Amino acid sequence: MELGVAAAPGSSSSGLGVGPVGGALDAGPGSGLAGIQEESGVRRDGSGTEADPDAPPKKRVRQQEGEAGKLEERLYSVLCCTVCLDLPKASVYQCTNGHLMCAGCFIHLLADARLKEEQATCPNCRCEISKSLCCRNLAVEKAVSELPSECSYCLKQFPRSSLDHHQTEECQDRVTQCKYKRIGCPWQGPFHELSAHEAECSHPSKTGMELMGILDEMDQSHRRELQLYNSIFSLLCFEKIGFTEVQFRPYRTDDFITRLYYETPRFTVLNQTWVLKARINDSERNPNLSCKRTLSFQLILKSKVNSALECSFLLLKGPYDDVKIKPVIQHHVFSNDANETEYYALLPINDSVECNKLLAAKNINLRLFIFQIQK
């Protein structure tokens, strides 16, 4: 006796394992009911096991990830700075037509325009830009902070707003230094290897004689800082001390190729009239073509004096500026024949970025201290 199975309309009976009952029972795993289950399993999951009905289709997930990746790429191109074509890391400024600039490029454009005696313009639409015409775009700043960015150590993706914290505090692959660096250990490596290295580090077992050279270098650096602070404290004990807020204004020389320089209005300190002048890159011909930016300054006594006037002086940042200036004490003996100091090599600012902040401003505001040395 044979068992017949009716095929569904429009389907083939060969794929349904139709045949004698004994043949179906004795058949191997590739035929009969097992074959039906196996073939349907292959069609559902692409493997020999049956797929989980609750799991989302893998193909659909891959498509969504691809679409998200394309969206991120489009956002990168929309939100990037029009100058450096990179995503802003801090403040975002926009021109009157909405074109975006990161804070560094915006300040650099203003500084270059000041050096070339031109009006700064947006590199996209050529409209005028300045600190009064441009404003920050807070919406773009927040959007950029939420975009994913890759950790440079572990290569995982994190929102840009939390990336710095991850790279400095949490990442197990971040570069770190041995705690015995202060006594000369040069080791640098990933954070997850730090404990193993410090357990085997040989520097804690060094003799006192071996550590003397390292400690001498540390002492010299500390001594220089201490000398500066002690000098400032000593100057504050002088009888005649004067200070004032000074404002450097930009001017141009009368040369065929004009050069930018700065000069303050006359001001009075210690009953004497003074003027400060400053120049860019020691008055080189085209400072706008150089990546390095420096400011040098000189102090000029405009009053007539009956006797030599010995003074120490230093410049510090103004009360409302965010520029970083290292204090450097200068010394000069003023007289009617020697009423100008030399141009001191550097206005004591940290780097070219800080210099560009000053150049981008309409005026440079600093604070001058003068200490008269009594004989």
- Main-chain phi, psi angles of 251, to 5 degrees: -140, 170
pLDDT at 97: 93
Q: What percent of the chain has pLDDT over 70?
A: 73
The residue-averaged pLDDT of 163-179 equals: 90
- pLDDT tier at 221, thresholds 50, 70, 90: confident
pTM: 0.51
| pLDDT reading at 248 higher than 90 | no
pLDDT at 251: 80
pLDDT at 299: 94
Mean pLDDT is lowest, of 86-95, 274-283, 317-326, for 317-326
pLDDT at 257: 58
pLDDT at 358: 73
Indicate the length of the chain as a whole number.
375
- pLDDT tier at 10, thresholds 50, 70, 90: very low
Rounded CA-CA distance 262/296 in Å is: 10
- Main-chain phi, psi angles of 233, to 5 degrees: -65, -35
Q: What percent of the chain has pLDDT over 90?
A: 25
SS (H, E, C) 21-87: HHHHHHCCCCCHHHHHHHHHHHHHHCCCCCCCCCCCCHHHHHHHHHHHHHHHHHHHHHHCCCCCCCC
| pLDDT reading at 27 higher than 90 | no
| pLDDT reading at 85 higher than 80 | yes
